[in-house]
Every structure is written in C-alpha cells, then in structure tokens.
C-alpha cells in the first residue's frame, strides 16, 4: 500500500451517501466509503514548515508518524510517493527522505529501494544505529520518486 498524504476534501469526496449505499445493499460502495471515513479519523493535520528560502527557492520540512500494519509474519513495508499532492518540483529541486525503523529491525536490502518516475532505481543508504538498535534508511532524488522500505521486526512492542 502506498502511503500518501491526503487533502481532506479529496479523501471524503463521495462519502456523503454512505448511509444510502448501505440501505441499498451496495456492499462495495459502503465498504469504500467507510474505509475512507475511518482513514480520515486516523489522520493528523500536519503543516509544511518552511525551513529556508534560498534565491527564491523554498525548503520545507514535514514530519509524520505512520501506523504500519504487517504484510505477513513480522514483515512490514512502508511506501510513500514524493513530492506530496499540491507541491511541484522545479528544475534543480530535490527530495530527501529518512525512514527511522522501530527498535530491533532488519532492513531488507533486496526489497528496499527508491524508484523514479521512469522506473529507474534510486540508491538508498541503510545504516544500523548500533547505540539505539534502530535502522535509518535515507534517499535523495531530484524528481518524483517512489520510496519503499521493507523490514523484519520480531522484537516485542514494549521493549
């Protein structure tokens, strides 16, 4: 599943008829509407923070905490497409992404990758943070990449 920040209006568009769809026996429409409403209830409003303006170019920072659900036994994957909806990259712009995994993870170096809009792979840097037991995966790119980080997590929740 690709994780994408949503505009509230985009996410809730078409859900106004959830009760009508339910009463009419439209299971698919009802499930879709309810899923979108549930997703909205879990999302946080997070503003872009302007960090700097350099020669008419802007540098923004945004931070999110995501709830990630397992793909299988102790296997998780985080995907995000950048830049976010409503932002555009101009010539010379770049995107940087850092994913900090939970304690006790092992990043899958074969499945973790960035992919640009032409399907070419973007090289990631994976570092085990020995003092904290976490891994940091970083990417840097200059257009519209899709980043994916897959990891094994077997340590209990409250370690």
In a domain, 96, yes or no: yes
pLDDT 10s digits, 50-100: 888 888 877 777 777 777 778 888 898 888 877 766 666 666 677 788 888
What's the structural domain count of the chain? 2
Quote the pTM value: 0.57
In a domain, 159, yes or no: no
> What does each C-alpha distance from 7 to 4, 18, 42, 43, 81 come to in angstroms?
10, 19, 13, 10, 15
Mark whether 146 and 94 lie in a shared domain.
yes
Mark whether 87 and 118 lie in a shared domain.
yes
> What does each C-alpha distance from 157 to 9, 43, 69, 74, 103 come to in angstroms?
34, 22, 13, 12, 9
d(CA 81, CA 140): 13
d(CA 151, CA 159): 17
pLDDT 10s digits, 115-157: 877 788 888 999 988 888 899 998 888 765 677 888 888 776 5
User: Could you identify the residue written with the tokens 């499930």?
Assistant: 31
């Amino acid at each position: 599943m690709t994780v994408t920040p949503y505009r509230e209006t985009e996410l809730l568009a078409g859900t106004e008829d959830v009760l009508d769809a339910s009463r009419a026996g439209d299971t698919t429409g009802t499930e879709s509407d309810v899923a979108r409403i549930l997703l909205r209830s879990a999302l946080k409003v997070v503003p872009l923070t302007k960090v700097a303006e350099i020669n008419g170019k802007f540098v923004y920072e945004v931070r999110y905490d995501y709830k990630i659900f397992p793909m299988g036994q102790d296997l998780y994957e985080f995907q995000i497409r950048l830049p976010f909806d409503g932002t555009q990259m101009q010539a010379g712009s770049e995107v940087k992404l850092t994913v900090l995994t939970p304690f006790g993870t092992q990043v899958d170096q074969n499945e973790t990758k960035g992919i640009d809009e032409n399907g070419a792979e973007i090289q990631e840097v994976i570092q085990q943070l020995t003092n904290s037991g976490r891994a940091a995966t970083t990417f840097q790119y200059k257009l519209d990449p899709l980043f994916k980080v897959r990891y094994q997590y077997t340590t209990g929740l409250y370690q």
